[in-house]
Amino acid sequence: MQTSIESESTLLPVLRKVLAKRGFESPDQINQFLSWNLRDLTPLTKLKDLDRAATRIIQAFDNNEKVGVYGDYDVDGTTSCALLYQFFQMLGKEVFLYQPSRFVEGYGIHPSSIEKAIEDGVKVLITVDCGISNNETADYALQRDIDLIITDHHKDAKPQMPKAYAIVNPNRRDEDHDCELTSLAGVGVGFALALEIKNQLDQRGDKTSSIYPLLQYVAIGTICDLAKLTPTNLKLVRHGLKQIVQTDYPGIECFFNDEDRTGPFILSEKISFYVGPLINSKGRLDHPEKALKLLIAKDHKDAFQNYAQLETSNKERKFIQNEVYTKARDMVVKKITTEDQAISIVYSPDFHEGVIGIVASKLVETFMVPAIVFTDAEEKGIIKASARSAGELNLFDALKSCEDLFLKFGGHKAAAGLSMPAENLEEFKRRINEYLSQIPAIERTVQEFYDTEISFDDITADLAKGLERLEPFGMGNERPKFMMRDAQIESFQILKDVHVKWTFTQKNNPTRKVQGISFNYIGKWGRPHPEELFDAQTNDNLKIYFQVGVNRFRGNEILQLMVDRIDPTGA
C-alpha cells in the first residue's frame, strides 16, 4: 500500500485475476479501488440531522453549556469517544465522557446514564455507536431537559425512532439505503459530526485545526467493527493507517513497536488481531474506562500505565475464552451426531458474558454455520446472547422473525445481541431453525472458496509486496486466498498443542522451500491431522489453500503462507 494514488498498470497478473474475480476488471474500476483520493469520498456531511446536531453543539460551547459524549464499550464505541474527545480538545473544549459496563448497564444508553449526566450538569449529550433503539431513554432525556444527540450506525428497527434532539445514522429509516455511507462504523459517523462542526466554525470565521489526524481512530474502529470496506471506508482507513506510523497520540503509539513502524503504513491485520482485542479486553471483563483513558492519554507515562492493564486483562480474557469455547464446541459436536445442523446454539449459565461474542465467532469459524451463545443475565430467569452470522445470511432479519420472543434485540447483518426469558429458548430454537430451513444452505454457511490457483513459482516477495497495495483487508475486502497443487509437505511441527508450522517444497524442485503456519489447526472441525496429510501425499497430490504474508522479526522479512486447509486431491 503506497501513500500516493496507485495505478493499475503495475499490478502483477495474479493480482489482476484476483481483482477481476471481485468485480474490478477495467483500468478505471481498478484505479478507483486503489485510489487514496479523499476528494472522491461520498460527502460525509450529507447525513440527515448532521447540521442540526453540529449547530446545537456549537451553541452549547458558545453558551458555556456542558457537553457529554456517551459511547459503547467495544472498540468502535471506545474509538468514537476518543475521536470526539480529541476533536473537542483541538477546539479547546472539555467534555464529559461516559461508557457503560457490559455487566451493569449493558449495551446502549439508559435512563440511569441520563441521571449521571444531569449530576454533572450536562445539557447536551452525544451518543456514539449506540442509541438508535433506546426510545425510552430518549423520552427520559426529553423530560429532564437534556438535548440528546444520537450518532449511531446500527439498524433502525423499532416501530418509531427515538424522540431525540437529532439522530445522525446512515441506517436510519429515512436515509438513502443505496448510499455507501450505510457501511460507516460508529466512529465514521463520529468523524462526520466532527467534520460538520469544523465546517460550520470555519464558515463563521473561527479557524480550526485539521481533523485529518482523527482518521487514526476511524481506521482502528472501522476495521475492528468489521464494517464493510466500501470505497469510502477504504480511503478513510488507508489514510488512518498511514498516519499511525508516526502518530502523535501516545495512547495509539503504545500498540506498535519499531518494527511495525518501518513501513509506510500499519498492516490491517495488526489492528484486527492485536490492537482490537487489547482495547476490547477491559470491557469484556469489567469496565472499558482504562482502554478509553489509554486512547486519550496526553503523555507516554499515563499511556503505558493503562496499556499494561490492557495486556493483563487480555491474558485473562484469553484464558476464560478458551475455557468457554472448549465447552461450547463440545456441546455443538455432541448435537451434530444426532441431527442436521443449520445453526450452532449453545447455552450455559456458567459462560462468561464478556467472551460469548468471541466464542460465537469461533464457533462460526469451526462449524461454518451461524452461531448463538447464551448465558444467564443478571435478572433471574433471563438469558442473553451474542450471535454471529455465516456466509451471506442476514442475521438481523433472521432474528427479527423471532423478535416477539425477545426482551431486547439489536445489531446488524453480521452480528447481533439479544435477551429473552429462559423459558422461550426451546421455542426460539424451533423457530430459527424453521426460518433457516427456507434459505438455501449456500447462503447461510461459510463457503470454502479461493480467489485463484497459483503455482509455487508465483509465491515471491513481489507477490507479498503487491498484496500490500490491496490493503486494508477486512469485511468486503478479504485478504486473497490462493490454492496450489505443485507443493508437498517436507515436514511439520505442532506448536503449543494447537498450531502447525509447515515446511513446503516444490515438487519438481525440492530445493525450493517456503514456510507456512496454521493457527489453531489441531482439533478444528473437518481438518485432517498433519500426520494424515503427510502420509497421504505419497499416493495423492495435495491442494493447499493459503494466504501470502510476510513474517517480520528482528529486522528480517520472511515469506510465509497462512495455511487454511490442505486436502488430498479429490477431497
- Quick: pLDDT tens for 397-447: 999 999 999 998 888 888 899 999 999 999 999 999 999 999 999 999 988
Tell me the three state secondary structure of residue 258. Answer: coil
User: How many Cβ atoms sit within 10 Å of the Cβ of residue 304?
Assistant: 16
Predicted confidence at residue 7, as pLDDT, reads: 63
The phi and psi torsions of 451 (rounded to 5 degrees) equal -75, -45
For the cut 80, the answer to whether the pLDDT of residue 510 exceeds it is yes
Predicted confidence at residue 571, as pLDDT, reads: 45
Give Cα 235 distance to the centre of its chain: 17
Tell me the three state secondary structure of residue 558. Answer: strand
Q: What is the DSSP letter of 434?
A: H
Domains of the chain: 43-309 (3.90.1640.30), 339-443 (3.10.310.30), 452-568 (2.40.50.460)
> What's the grid cell of residue 452?
485463484
Locate cell 502483477: which residue? Answer: 12
Q: What is the DSSP letter of 274?
A: I
Predicted confidence at residue 66, as pLDDT, reads: 98
Per-residue pLDDT tens digits for 149-198: 999 999 898 899 999 999 999 999 999 999 999 999 999 999 999 999 99
Predicted confidence at residue 2, as pLDDT, reads: 43
Question: What is the distance between the alpha carbons of residues 276 and 268, in angstroms, rounded to a whole number?
Answer: 11
For the cut 70, the answer to whether the pLDDT of residue 129 exceeds it is yes
Beta bridge partners of 567: 543
Per-residue pLDDT tens digits for 533-545: 999 887 778 999 9
User: How many Cβ atoms sit within 10 Å of the Cβ of residue 379?
Assistant: 11
Question: What is the distance between the alpha carbons of residues 97 and 72, in angstroms, rounded to a whole number?
Answer: 11
Predicted confidence at residue 4, as pLDDT, reads: 44
Write the secondary structure of 321-337 as one string of H (helix), E (strand) and C (coil).
HHHHHHHHHHHHHHHHC
Predicted confidence at residue 5, as pLDDT, reads: 46
Question: What is the distance between the alpha carbons of residues 70 and 110, in angstroms, rounded to a whole number?
Answer: 11
> Cα torsion at 360, 362, 365, 368 (round to 10°)?
-30
Predicted confidence at residue 412, as pLDDT, reads: 81
**CA-based nearest residue to 107, from 83, 73, 56:** 73
- The percentage of residues in the chain with a pLDDT greater than 90, rounded to a whole number, is 84
Question: DSSP readout, 278-342?
Answer: HHHHHHHHS-THHHHHHHT-SSHHHHHHHHHHHHHHHHHHHHHHHHHHHHHHHHHHHHHTTS--S
Beta bridge partners of 559: 550
pLDDT-derived band at 1 (thresholds 50, 70, 90) equals very low
Question: What is the distance between the alpha carbons of residues 110 and 552, in angstroms, rounded to a whole number?
Answer: 46
For the cut 90, the answer to whether the pLDDT of residue 19 exceeds it is yes
> What's the grid cell of residue 465?
509486496
Predicted confidence at residue 88, as pLDDT, reads: 98
> What's the grid cell of residue 233?
471506508
Residue 357 φ/ψ region, left for φ over 0, alpha for ψ in the -120 to 50 degree band, beta for the rest = alpha
For the cut 50, the answer to whether the pLDDT of residue 560 exceeds it is yes
- Provide CB contacts within 8 A for 220, sequence distance 6+: 75, 79, 187, 240, 252, 271, 275, 276, 279
Predicted confidence at residue 258, as pLDDT, reads: 87
- Average pLDDT on 499-527 reads 92
pLDDT-derived band at 310 (thresholds 50, 70, 90) equals very high
- Average pLDDT on 26-45 reads 93
Sort strands 96-98 and 66-71 into parallel, antiparallel or unpaired. Answer: parallel
Tell me the three state secondary structure of residue 392. Answer: coil
| pTM of the entire predicted model | 0.91
Beta bridge partners of 415: 388
For the cut 90, the answer to whether the pLDDT of residue 85 exceeds it is yes
Predicted confidence at residue 3, as pLDDT, reads: 44
Predicted confidence at residue 552, as pLDDT, reads: 77
Average per-residue pLDDT in the chain? 93
**CA-based nearest residue to 221, from 246, 190, 259:** 190
Q: What is the DSSP letter of 44?
A: G
Report which of residues 269 and 340 the model is more confident about.
269
Number of H helices, E strands in the chain: 19, 17
Predicted confidence at residue 202, as pLDDT, reads: 97
Mark out the alpha helices in 337-424 (DSSP H runs).
356-367, 395-400
Q: Which amino acid is at 263?
A: G
Rg (CA), the chain: 24
Tell me the three state secondary structure of residue 261. Answer: helix
- Which has the minimum average pLDDT: 87-91, 525-529, 531-535? 525-529
Per-residue pLDDT tens digits for 244-298: 999 999 999 999 998 888 889 999 999 999 999 999 999 999 889 999 999 999 9
